[in-house]
Amino acid sequence: MDGQPISMIDYEKSVFPIGIIAMDSAKEVGGLIDQHLMSWYYKANPEAINDEKAKKSLLLKASCPRFNTGDAKAVLGETVRGYDMYIITDVGNYNCKYDMYGQQVPMSPDDHFQDLKRVICAISGKAERITVIMPILYGGRQHKRSARESLDCALALQELYNMGVSNVITFDAHDPRVQNATPLMGFDNAMPRYQFLKALLRNVDDLILDKEHLMVVSPDEGAMNRNIYYASELGLDLGMFYKRRDFSTIVNGRNPIVAHEYIGASVKDKDIFVSDDIIASGDSMLMLAYDLKKEGAKRIFLSATYALFTEGMEKFDKAYEDGIINGVLSTNLTYQNPEMLAKPWYINVDASKYIAYFILSLHQNNSVTSIHDPHKKIKALVEKYKKEHNQ
C-alpha cells in the first residue's frame, strides 16, 4: 500500500468512532501506529491540522494499577461507548514490572493476558466492536497436545471470544490452526514478509538478486513454507537443514538438536538469507550459520519475526566478530532490548505501519486480502532495487 492513495473516512464522524488502547506492554508500537493513522487522517483532512477541537490522537487512556499484594484492576480514563475498539498488547514484554510486597516483579505472559482481559471487562460491552491485536500469540508455542498437556492458546482464544472479542490479529503464529478453537471469531495471522525484504534491501546495498549470488535456506522443515515464499518471489534456489534431535532427552522443555544436515544446492560463494518465526536461545540458528560457513557461504543474514535472545546476545556478538553472521533482522512486534537495538549486526524491521493498515481496513469494513498478500509490493521493491543498483 506504500505510495498508493488511501480511501479515508473521518475518524470522528464515522458511524462508529475508532479508539485504540495500547497496553503498557505495547506503548511504543501503539504510538507509532497512532502516528500513521493520524497522518493519513490529516492527509485527507488538512484543515484539521490547525483545528484545536479536532482529535489529535486515536489513543484512549487506560491503565492497570496494582495493589501491593499484586492484585490489579483495569481503569478506563475516557468513554468507549459505541467505539470500534482496538486493543494492542505485547504478552512477550518482560521489561514491564510491578511492585509486589516491596519487590519488583517482571510481568509474565500470564500477567499481560490477565491485564488484557481486565481492560475488556472494564469496557463492559459498551464498545460496538473489540479487536485484539496480539502480535506474539499468548500460549502460541503450546498449540497441540502430545501427552497429558494443557492447550493454553486454544483456551485463551475461547476466553476472548466469550468476552465479546470480534477479531484477533496476530503475526506469524507458531501454528495458525489454533484458530479452529474459535471458528466463529475473526482471526488474522499476518506475515510481515514485505517488511523484512524492505529492511534487508534498505540496509544492505550490495546484494545481487539472482540465483548465482543469493540463496534462501530454511533452518528446518517446519520453516519451509516461509522460505519457499521468499525463494519464489525472488527467483532464488532453496536449501534446507534437517534437525536431528535426541528424543530421549528434554532440555528446557524441548528435545536438544544433535546435528544439522543440509539438503540442497551448493551455497559456496553465495549470500544466504534464512527466515524463521522465533529466535529463542539462538543455538540452532548459529549452528546453521557455522555449518553454512563450512560449506563456503559468503554472507549470512538471519531473520525471525521475534528475536527473543532468551540466553543473551554474547554468542551472536562472537559470531559477528568472527565473520559467521552479517546481520540479524527482527521486528518491533515484541519488546526490543535497547542493548539489542544498538548491536551492529541487528537490523530493525518496523511493522507498525502494517498494523495500521489492518486497523484502517477493518474499521472501514474493507477486505484485508491485499494486506495479507504483498506480492505486488515485493515485485515493485525488487525492481526498484535492481534498477538503482544496475542489475
CA–CA distance, 151 with 156 (Å, rounded to integer): 9
pLDDT (average), residues 23-42: 95
pLDDT, mean of residues 241-254: 70
Predicted pLDDT of residue 347: 98
Among 36-45, 65-74, 161-170, the minimum mean pLDDT is found in 36-45
If you search the block for the grid coordinates 546484494, which residue do you land on?
207
Contact predicate 174/127, CB 8 Å: no
Q: Can you give the pLDDT at residue 331?
A: 98
Nearest CA-CA partner of 84 in 383, 373, 362: 362
Residue 107 has a CB neighbour count (10 Å cut-off) of: 19
Q: Report the alpha-carbon distance of residue 25 to residue 335 in Å, rounded.
A: 8
Q: Scanning the structure block, which residue is given the C-alpha cell 512477550? A: 92
Beta-carbon contacts of residue 365 (< 8 Å; ≥ 6 apart): none
Quickly count: other Cβ atoms within 10 Å of residue 360's Cβ. Answer: 23
According to the model, what pLDDT value does residue 254 have? 62
Q: Give me the mean pLDDT over the 154-160 stretch.
A: 97
Radius of gyration of the chain, Cα coordinates, nearest whole angstrom: 22
pLDDT at 1: 41
Q: Would the pLDDT of 4 be above 70? A: no
Dist CA 237 CA 267 (whole Å): 10
Q: 11-15, 183-187, 380-384: lowest mean pLDDT where?
A: 11-15
pLDDT bin (cut points 50, 70, 90) of residue 251 is low
Burial class of residue 344 (count of CB atoms within 10 Å of its CB; 0-12, 13-18, 19+): exposed
Q: Does the pLDDT at position 239 exceed 80?
A: yes
Whose grid coordinates read 503498557? 24
Residue 62: closest CA among 93, 15, 24, 14: 24
Among residues 314, 346, 351, the alpha carbon closest in space to that of 334 is found at 351
- Tell me the C-alpha distance between 18 and 359, whole Å: 9
Which pLDDT does position 247 carry in this prediction?
A: 65
For 273-282, write each residue's pLDDT tens digit. Answer: 999 999 999 9
Work out the burial of residue 298: count CB atoms within 10 Å of its CB; fewer than 13 is exposed, 13-18 middle, 19 or more buried.
middle
For position 11, what pLDDT does the model report?
55
**CA–CA separation, 356 vs 359, rounded Å?**
5
Query: Contact 129/120 with Cβ under 8 angstroms?
Result: no
CA torsion sign for 366, 372, 378, 379 is negative
Mean per-residue pLDDT for 293-314? 96
**What's the half-sphere exposure (Cβ side, CA atoms, 13 Å) at 290?**
14
Mean confidence (pLDDT) of the chain: 91
Read off the pTM.
0.91
> What three-state secondary structure class fits 20?
strand
Running DSSP on this structure, what letter comes out for residue 255? P
- Above pLDDT 90, what percent of the chain? 80
Q: What is the pLDDT of residue 7?
A: 42
Q: Is the pLDDT of residue 245 over 60?
A: yes
Q: Confidence class of residue 14 from pLDDT cuts 50, 70 and 90?
A: low
Contact 74, 122 (CB under 8 A): yes
Instruction: Using the predicted structure, report yes or no on whether residue 25 has a pLDDT greater than 80.
Output: yes
Closest CA to 286 of 262, 315, 255, 307: 315
| CA torsion angle 322 326 331 336 (round to 10) | 30
Q: What is the pLDDT of residue 6?
A: 40
| Helix (H) / strand (E) containing 274 | strand 271-279
Residue 91 has phi, psi (to 5 degrees) of -70, -5
Span of 35-39, 155-159, 219-223, 285-289 with lowest mean pLDDT:
219-223
In what helix (H) or strand (E) does residue 384 lie, and over which residues does it extend? helix 375-388
Q: Which of 197, 208, 203 is nearest to 269 (CA)?
A: 208
Of the listed ranges 27-36, 313-322, 365-374, the one predicted with least confidence: 365-374
Cell of 58: 486515536
Residue type, 53: K
- pLDDT tens column, 68-116: 999 999 999 999 999 999 999 999 999 999 999 999 999 999 999 999 9
